[in-house]
Amino acid sequence: MSPAETFRLCIKGVRHRLLRSMLTLAVVVLAVAFFMFLLAESMFQRATAQGVLAETKHERLSQHRLTRFLSPATEAVAVRRLADAWKAQDVDQLDEFAAVVELPREQIDSLAAESLREVEYAAWLAGIPAGKRTVLIHKTSGRDAFAFIIADLDGFRSRLKPMVDIKVPDGLEAFEGFLSRLPSHQQATAAFTAAWNAKVEKAAAALVAAKAGSDQSDADWIIDAPEEATERWRAELVALGFDFDSDALVLMRQQLRATRECADVHRTLNSREIREAWMREYRENTPSTAEQKIPKLTEARAVKLFEGIYDADLLKRVAEKTLYEQKLMKLERRLALAMASEGGFLGLDGRQVFLLAISFMVCMVGIANAMLMSITERFREIATMKCLGATDSYILMQFMMEAGMQGFFGGLLGVVIGFVIATTRGFMAMGSHLAVYWPWGDLAICSVVSLLAGVLLAMLASIQPSWSASRMAPMEAMRVE
């Protein structure tokens, strides 16, 4: 028989034993739905976490720039900045480092790569369970821990050897290589930090000179100063090597102004006069906090309370900015694990992979049992087909095709169910941000992988029953009741 005729025969077999087929289908649907749910939820969290991280970074960009320009950095902060820039492959940031400290870009790249290794090894040591960490490095941490290990490297090796559950990132040999380079790396980071802070002092002096005669804070001067004055200050920073173009200055002034507006409105909301007027207007028995008042700032009653103090547009801007920042903070806390995760197998962590493996094993047992019962009911059919000339390979192909067909349709239904559940839960947890950062490509990959997993699961579980059926002698099959 041709493959097409065999396929039609499989469909007739499924329809004839619909209840047994539905049992196999249900097991595949449950397994694939669980798999698709885990994959889709992981992709939703990762995509939204990356988007929220980018939004948060943009919201805090001006404050970070001011800190970088005007505040001296400790060596630990310098190492962290270098590591973050190298990990993100932030070319602009690395170019700025090279320009400010006046070192070749290749040297900055090497320093940043080594800084990332330092941060990762420090995090690894900090993540070791407390008891074992005390045995290995006592109560030291960070560079003190590295110095402790270097002073007694043989002792560290002997203490680490029986701790088979503790894996050194990239292996012990790579870690020892890092330790051998650490003294020169520390000297390089110290020189980098000193050169960076020297330029920061000049940048701070340039700002002091620019705002000479003004008693405003740095942020207030940047907001209120004439455009020509702030542009001259920006040009001085650029001459020192800092990455600070005109668009960045415009954004800084906008963000600092918005921050000042929010701070002013919050102070006014906490003033005694406004608190009492608010309680009378809204008939509150106990005074509400400023955070509780913010969502109501766009209401006509609230606008009336601030008449002569703030206009309606300003109150609207403050309410929108505050609510937006609160939403970002909630999402940051909710997605903290996804932001910190490096991504494991298909984006799943170890616990999820373990649960998935257990569920697949249980499903394979269920499918194998259902197929075995289905084949047992068809012994006479198998014997008849063999008497008519069907070969062992044809019988095996028929049952495997039948299993693959059930796996495909069960997988298709499971993908839809898992996707719907993950999407519903995602929108409940992340709201509109999920739609903004919808991971189309990742979801397509997840759907294909889940569907293939369903087909593979059904076919693997059917190998042994199908093989047994194909090897039966006709007379032996005919004797079975």
If you ran DSSP here, which 8-state letter would residue 213 be given? T
Does the model's pTM come out above 0.85? Answer: no
The answer to whether 83 and 116 have CB atoms below 8 angstroms apart is: yes
Query: What's the token pair of residue 28?
Result: 């595949």
Alpha-carbon gap, residue 345 to 335, rounded angstroms: 19
Alpha-carbon gap, residue 371 to 463, rounded angstroms: 10
**pLDDT confidence tier of residue 335, bands split at 50, 70 and 90:** confident
Q: How many CA atoms lie within 13 A of 31 on its CB side?
A: 34
Q: What share of the chain is helix, strand, coil (3-state, %, to 5)?
A: 80, 0, 20
Which residues contact residue 285 at a Cβ distance below 8 angstroms, ignoring those fewer than 6 apart?
Answer: none
Residues 54-65 have a mean pLDDT of 89
Report pLDDT for 346.
Answer: 58
CA distances from 401 to 3, 6, 33, 386, 397 (A): 9, 8, 22, 18, 6
Q: Is the pLDDT of residue 229 over 80?
A: yes
Which residues contact residue 244 at a Cβ distance below 8 angstroms, ignoring those fewer than 6 apart?
Answer: 65, 69, 234, 237, 238
The answer to whether 135 and 169 have CB atoms below 8 angstroms apart is: no
Identify the residue with better confidence: 357 or 476: 357
Q: What DSSP assignment string belongs to 294-347?
A: GGGTTSHHHHHHTTTTS-HHHHHHHHHHHHHHHHHHHHHHHTHHHHH----BTT
The answer to whether 347 and 435 have CB atoms below 8 angstroms apart is: no
Q: What is the 3-state secondary structure (H, E, C) of 74-138?
A: CHHHHHHHHHHHHHHCCHHHHHHHHHHHCCCHHHHHHHHHHHHHHHHHHHHHHHCCHHHHHHHHC
Report pLDDT for 377.
Answer: 66
The answer to whether 390 and 470 have CB atoms below 8 angstroms apart is: no
% residues pLDDT > 90 (the chain):
49
Q: Is the pLDDT of residue 73 over 90?
A: yes
The answer to whether 474 and 386 have CB atoms below 8 angstroms apart is: yes
Q: Is the pLDDT of residue 479 over 60?
A: no
Residue 345's DSSP bridge partners are 348
Tokens 């490096």 -> residue: 342
Alpha-carbon gap, residue 384 to 387, rounded angstroms: 5
Alpha-carbon gap, residue 307 to 396, rounded angstroms: 84
% residues pLDDT > 70 (the chain):
86
The answer to whether 327 and 59 have CB atoms below 8 angstroms apart is: no
Domain coordinates in residue numbering, the chain:
255-339
* Cα three-residue angle 424-426-429, rounded to 5 degrees: 110
Alpha-carbon gap, residue 471 to 353, rounded angstroms: 36
Q: What is the 3-state secondary structure (H, E, C) of 339-362?
A: HHCCCCECCECHHHHHHHHHHHHH
Identify the residue with better confidence: 70 or 377: 70
- Candidate from 138-142, 297-301, 353-357 with smallest mean pLDDT: 353-357
- b (16+ CB within 10 A) / e for 313-334: eebebbbebbeebebbeebeee
Alpha-carbon gap, residue 417 to 35, rounded angstroms: 11
Report pLDDT for 413.
Answer: 92
**pLDDT confidence tier of residue 359, bands split at 50, 70 and 90:** confident
* Cα three-residue angle 447-451-457, rounded to 5 degrees: 145
Q: What is the 3-state secondary structure (H, E, C) of 383-435?
A: HHHHHCCCCHHHHHHHHHHHHHHHHHHHHHHHHHHHHHHHHHHHHHHHCHHHH
Mean pLDDT of the chain: 86
Report pLDDT for 16.
Answer: 58
Cβ neighbours around 260 below 10 Å, total: 15
The answer to whether 438 and 343 have CB atoms below 8 angstroms apart is: no
Phi-psi region of 480 (alpha: psi -120 to 50; beta: other; left: phi over 0): beta
pLDDT in tens, 77-129: 999 999 999 998 999 999 999 999 999 999 999 999 999 999 999 999 998 99
The answer to whether 364 and 461 have CB atoms below 8 angstroms apart is: yes
The answer to whether 415 and 39 have CB atoms below 8 angstroms apart is: no
Identify the residue with better confidence: 252 or 286: 252
Alpha-carbon gap, residue 299 to 312, rounded angstroms: 9
pLDDT in tens, 360-389: 787 777 777 776 776 666 666 666 776 767
pLDDT in tens, 405-462: 888 888 899 999 999 999 999 999 888 899 999 999 889 998 998 898 888 888 887 7
Q: Which amino acid is at 4?
A: A
* Cα three-residue angle 450-455-458, rounded to 5 degrees: 120
Q: Which amino acid is at 303?
A: V
Alpha-carbon gap, residue 210 to 215, rounded angstroms: 12
Q: How many CA atoms lie within 13 A of 481 on its CB side?
A: 0
**pLDDT confidence tier of residue 469, bands split at 50, 70 and 90:** low
**pLDDT confidence tier of residue 333, bands split at 50, 70 and 90:** confident
Report pLDDT for 30.
Answer: 86
Report pLDDT for 28.
Answer: 84
